[in-house]
Amino acid sequence: MATREQVLDYLLDEEPTYRIAAEALGVEALEVLAELVVAADPLLASKATRLASEIGSPRAWEVIERAAARERDPTVRVAAASALRRLAARDPGHEMAFADEPNGLLDRLLADEDAGVRKFALKAAWELDLRDRLERVASDVTEVGFLRESAAEMLSRGR
């Protein structure tokens, strides 16, 4: 099992090598990462979220879910939305994604008060080929202009 110290050895680097850390630590690190995303400072929690997405196990969704629930830290929620996109991209058939129902998580991130969180959630919706979410953002007159435009552009490009 990956210890907290082993996980921190990778994450405390200024620029962690996430792929190398994921390969070295494996799914055993997810338990420690789940603790870090709620207990650590925002920067470390963001790094822990990113590492969980690189590990790519279905259990990584749990870590991302916990990171997304950090209401006071938009940087951690941005990391969660970005991790959701990254994890979806690594799972082309989306079997892993839909087995753990990320749509509720994605919908919460798309409705987040922070535009940065919504931007990365929009990218995850595109990666998951959820056109209905893209259409909803593109047609929402209350949404920030650049996000409506991004959603419309993603719809025109298709998957």
| Tens-digit pLDDT profile for residues 11-51 | 999 999 999 999 999 999 999 999 999 987 999 999 999 99
The second-level CATH assignment, the architecture, of 4-157 is Alpha Horseshoe (1.25)
Q: Are 68 and 77 spatial neighbours (Cβ–Cβ below 8 Å)?
A: yes
Three-state SS for 21-42 is HHHHHHHHHHHHHHHHHHHCCH
Q: Cα separation of 154 and 15, whole Å?
A: 30
Domain ranges of the chain: 4-157
Residue 67 C-alpha from the chain's centroid: 8
51-103 residue pLDDT tens: 999 998 888 888 999 999 987 889 999 999 999 888 887 766 655 554 445 56
**What pLDDT does 92 receive?**
63
**What pLDDT does 49 receive?**
96
